[in-house]
């Protein structure tokens, strides 16, 4: 049968995929004034959470707050549909405090679907893109129904749909997440473009019926008494309406898994894709951490209007009957009923070294990648990449400067720099340890670092920006005030100091110096601070953090300045590394592959030593 293609609508920016990356890409592009389209295989899964029903987590919470400060949507959506909110790592320093929230997954998806539907300049179309081709007049996207869309730029945000294949024991079949259709023909089309594609895999645990769980046998995990929103524009903090629970595996769980390990497609060699290092399946945990007596499991609600519960930490690709067996060995799950079986999913993605800092594919002008297509893992990592790709695709159309964030500015900049400079051998997950500047890249100051940028982009409204400027001034004024306020010794104050385990006063001291003492807090000293103004808790927390860690912050800012100095040393795009005398062969090979734009990026390439960087600096100074 002959294919009858017809000329369909043309666009400035086309986004392939309606997940977290696709949504932020499409919204950013449309809000910047470009005629945009978002294609999705099914409209019912826009903004879907096929894995855990949560937003945020360690370092991921930083990404969401940074995205919000720039003008993204994820934080607002999460705040509106939070079931339980917790600030993680409060027992550690402020650099690693990270917000995490359980989310009503269907309500969140509904919010995002409506947001893209209402967005001016944005068309949302249910269509499978089966072919992508670059011609003289631009990129042509062909749908399964033979529509031919001419697009100036294209963002690939296919998640785990691209060449998706699901594995459950000996059973495997072509599929996207949650039983959706996979993007198989598009995968074949991208291979014709000679993109450096490879296979990654991820997994998800079973969803089980709430009434089949004995919650009395599980530990209760409450939300925080004081909740913090993701979005700086959220006026009323989320209210906790649900609790989560904690359970543990045991020797019987381990035995049931090990007896059937040969039936795992991961260990049978059926899965060729590389899985996430920091989120292994339960069978992988049992093997890799053989000496560990038990593994933690979190029982989390999927929403207000569903009886499905998510078993965080228990992803698996073992056969269904084995899943039933090992889940039932866990105390509290003896009578558990599985509603959706756990599965692993394998998919195609690109080697991110093929990308530039704008997330444009170097060898294909106008073609961008975002999210899991770029080799990352996680909703939050996907969303921030979608935003960056969306802004850069729009800027390319509008003739504006590329939008690039440095490592020193944000976790978003760190993530993208890691991907395009170092690449990844397994699905990339953001962690606070990946940043060498984490004390100045805290989640509480994301607005100060990035909101001026979002405002200048045109993606932060006047009211939100005015609120930000007010909070910033309040913080600065309060730091100045407490630095110039003296407290003298008194019976009551010295009693507080001794009870807190710190030395009493014998003479007057600055209030800021007392706050710097590790045993004391800004709030503890409030009864002795007669001039203290009434401020939002978020402002008070910033005041305390910046006073307590002033010395460390100053030292880290000096490191940032040194890094920025290297970033300013540009490397010509036409450099021939074979001509740089003194470079090691490995360095030449790696530099040719990545083609760094500056010395800072070159210094972070795996295989390029400090000595190689020195050689390169000498060469550039001479030439």
- Give the tens place of pLDDT for each residue, 79-94: 999 999 999 999 999 9
Taking the C-alpha atoms of residue 185 and residue 203, their distance in angstroms, rounded to an integer, is: 23
Q: Which of 51, 102, 156, 215 is nearest to 371 (CA)?
A: 156
**How high does pLDDT run on average in the chain?**
94
Q: Both ends of the chain: CA-CA distance in Å?
A: 61
pLDDT given for residue 1 in this prediction: 41
pLDDT given for residue 2 in this prediction: 56
The arithmetic mean of pLDDT across residues 366-390, rounded, is 97
Classify 473-555 by CATH class: mainly alpha
pLDDT over threshold 80, residue 28: yes
pLDDT over threshold 90, residue 23: yes
Asked, colleague to colleague, whether 6-201+347-455 and 568-622 share their fold, the answer is: no
Contact predicate 167/344, CB 8 Å: yes
Convert the pLDDT of each residue in 194-229 to its tens digit. Answer: 999 999 999 999 999 999 999 999 999 999 999 999
Does the 6-201+347-455 domain belong in CATH 3.50.50.60? yes
The arithmetic mean of pLDDT across residues 11-19, rounded, is 98
CA distances from 562 to 455, 569, 600 (A): 27, 12, 10
Convert the pLDDT of each residue in 99-112 to its tens digit. Answer: 999 999 999 999 99
Say what percent of the chain tops pLDDT 90. 86
Contact predicate 372/54, CB 8 Å: no
List the structure tokens of 367: 């073609």
Tell me the domain boundaries of the chain. Answer: 6-201+347-455, 207-346, 473-555, 568-622
Contact predicate 457/403, CB 8 Å: yes
Taking the C-alpha atoms of residue 200 and residue 336, their distance in angstroms, rounded to an integer, is: 31
Confidence of residue 316 (pLDDT cuts 50, 70, 90): very high
Instruction: Name the pTM for this structure.
Output: 0.94
Q: Which of 378, 379, 355 is nearest to 365 (CA)?
A: 355
Convert the pLDDT of each residue in 559-598 to its tens digit. Answer: 888 888 888 889 998 999 998 989 998 999 989 989 999 9
532 Rama class: left (phi>0) / alpha (psi -120 to 50) / beta: beta
Taking the C-alpha atoms of residue 605 and residue 587, their distance in angstroms, rounded to an integer, is: 9
List the structure tokens of 411: 């976790």
Of 622 and 163, the one with more pLDDT: 163
pLDDT given for residue 267 in this prediction: 79
Of the candidate CATH numbers 1.10.150.570, 1.20.1250.20, 1.10.1040.10, 1.10.3720.10, the domain formed by 568-622 belongs to 1.10.150.570
SS3 232: coil
pLDDT given for residue 266 in this prediction: 78
Taking the C-alpha atoms of residue 127 and residue 143, their distance in angstroms, rounded to an integer, is: 6
Classify 207-346 by CATH class: mainly beta
Q: Which helix (H) or strand (E) holds 117?
A: helix 105-118
The arithmetic mean of pLDDT across residues 340-357, rounded, is 96
Cα 564 from chain centroid (whole Å): 24
Q: Which residues contact 66 (CB under 8 A, 6 or more apart)?
A: 384, 410, 411, 412, 446, 449, 450
Low-confidence winner among 122-136, 515-529, 601-615 (lowest mean pLDDT): 601-615
């Amino acid at each position: 049968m002959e294919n009858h293609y017809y000329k369909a609508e043309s666009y400035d920016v086309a986004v392939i995929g309606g997940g977290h990356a696709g949504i932020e890409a499409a919204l950013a592009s449309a809000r910047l004034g470009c005629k945009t389209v978002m294609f999705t295989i099914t409209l019912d899964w826009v903004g879907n959470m096929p894995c855990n029903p949560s937003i945020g987590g360690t370092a991921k919470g930083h990404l969401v707050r940074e995205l919000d400060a720039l003008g993204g949507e994820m934080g607002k959506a999460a705040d509106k549909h939070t079931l339980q909110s917790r600030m993680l790592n409060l027992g550690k320093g402020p650099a690693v405090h990270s917000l995490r929230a359980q989310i009503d997954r269907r309500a969140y998806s509904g919010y995002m679907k409506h947001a893209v539907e209402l967005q001016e300049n944005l068309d949302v179309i249910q269509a499978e893109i089966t072919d992508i081709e670059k011609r003289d007049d631009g990129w042509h996207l062909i749908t399964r129904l033979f529509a031919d869309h001419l697009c100036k730029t294209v963002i690939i945000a296919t998640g785990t749909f691209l060449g998706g294949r699901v594995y459950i024991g000996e059973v495997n079949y072509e599929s996207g997440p949650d039983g959706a259709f996979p993007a198989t023909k598009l995968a074949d089309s991208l291979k014709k473009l000679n993109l450096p594609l490879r296979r990654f895999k991820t997994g998800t645990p079973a969803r089980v019926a709430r009434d089949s769980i004995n919650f009395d046998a599980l530990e209760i995990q409450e939300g925080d008494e004081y909740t913090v929103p993701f979005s700086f524009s959220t006026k009323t903090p989320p209210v906790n309406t649900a609790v989560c629970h904690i359970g543990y595996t045991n020797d019987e769980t381990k035995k049931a898994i090990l007896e059937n390990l040969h039936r795992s497609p991961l260990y049978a060699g059926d899965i060729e894709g590389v899985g996430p290092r920091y989120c292994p399946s339960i069978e992988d945990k049992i093997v890799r951490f053989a000496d560990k007596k038990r593994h933690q499991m979190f029982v989390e609600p999927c929403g207000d209007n569903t009886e499905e519960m998510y078993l965080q930490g228990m992803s698996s690709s073992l056969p269904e009957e084995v899943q039933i067996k090992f889940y039932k060995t866990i105390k509290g799950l003896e009578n558990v009923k599985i509603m959706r079986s756990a599965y692993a999913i394998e998919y195609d993605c690109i080697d991110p070294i093929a990308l530039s800092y704008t997330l444009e594919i170097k060898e294909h002008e106008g073609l961008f990648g975002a999210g899991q297509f770029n080799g990352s893992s996680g909703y939050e990592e996907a969303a921030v990449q979608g935003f960056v790709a969306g802004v850069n695709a729009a800027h390319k159309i509008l003739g504006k400067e590329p939008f690039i964030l440095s490592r020193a500015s944000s976790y978003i900049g760190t993530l993208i720099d890691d991907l395009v400079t170092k690449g990844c051998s397994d699905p990339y997950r953001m962690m606070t340890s990946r940043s060498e500047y984490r004390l100045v890249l805290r989640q509480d100051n994301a607005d100060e670092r990035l909101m001026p940028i979002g405002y200048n982009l045109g993606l932060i409204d006047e009211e939100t920006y005015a609120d930000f400027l007010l909070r910033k001034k309040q913080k600065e004024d309060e730091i100045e005030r407490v630095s110039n306020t003296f407290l003298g010794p008194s019976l009551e104050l010295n009693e507080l100091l001794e009870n807190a385990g710190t030395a009493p006063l014998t003479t007057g001291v600055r209030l800021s110096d007392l706050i710097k003492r590790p045993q004391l807090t800004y709030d503890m000293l409030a009864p002795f601070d007669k001039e203290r103004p009434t401020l939002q808790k978020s402002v008070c927390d910033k005041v305390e953090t910046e006073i307590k860690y002033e010395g460390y912050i100053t030292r880290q800012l000096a490191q940032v300045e040194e890094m920025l100095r290297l970033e300013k040393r540009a490397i010509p795009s036409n450099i021939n590394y074979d001509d740089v005398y003194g470079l090691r062969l490995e360095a030449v090979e790696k530099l040719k592959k990545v083609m760094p734009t500056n010395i800072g990026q070159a210094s972070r390439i795996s295989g390029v030593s400090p000595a190689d960087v020195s050689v390169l600096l000498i060469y550039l100074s001479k030439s």
